[in-house]
Each structure stands twice: as C-alpha cells, then as structure tokens.
C-alpha cells in the first residue's frame, strides 16, 4: 500500500542526501528509523574477545593523563 506524505523542502533534501544508489525513499526511511540498529551498550558488556586489552587500557590511561580539565563558571 502506498501513502502520500508531505515534506518540507529541507526535510526532503535531508532524506535525499541520506539516499544510497538504488535505494528508494521508503528504503531510506526504514533504514534510518530501524530501532533494531539502536542497541544498548550494555548488550556488549563482557563480550571482548581480543588479547590486546592491556594495550588498549594503557592507551586510554595515556590519553586521560594528557587531557586537561577545564574550569566551568556557572
């Protein structure tokens, strides 16, 4: 079943910019609104299979040490 939908020029252009070759506008709407793609990060907890966790941890620590705090005035 086909339905007619009105879009502003900006909304149409945004949708058109998201469109891939050989993809219909319906395909674009379904792809970008697919809630199955939006997964909670908690689903990945405990799933690390790599042996390089120590290297990654070291990189994170080094990055944290190099970063500087900024004072926020309220």
**Cα gap 8→5, rounded to integer Å:** 10
φ/ψ of 58, rounded to 5, equals -60, -45
Q: What is the pLDDT of residue 17?
A: 94
Q: What is the pLDDT of residue 36?
A: 60
- Quick one: tokens of 15? 């949708």
As a 3-state breakdown, the chain gives helix, strand, coil percent values, each rounded to 5, of: 55, 0, 45
- In order along its 74 residues, the chain shows pLDDT tens digits of 888 989 999 999 999 999 999 999 999 998 888 756 667 778 778 777 777 888 888 999 999 888 877 777 77
**Cα gap 5→13, rounded to integer Å:** 14
Please, what's the largest Cα pairwise distance for the chain?
58
Single pTM value for the model: 0.45
């Amino acid at each position: 079943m086909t339905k007619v939908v009105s879009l502003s020029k900006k909304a149409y252009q945004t949708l058109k910019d998201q469109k891939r070759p050989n993809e219909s506008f319906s395909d674009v709407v379904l792809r970008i609104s697919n809630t199955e793609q939006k997964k909670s990060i908690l689903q990945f907890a405990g799933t690390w299979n790599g042996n390089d966790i120590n290297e990654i941890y070291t990189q994170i620590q080094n990055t944290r040490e190099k970063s500087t705090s900024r004072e926020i005035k309220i």
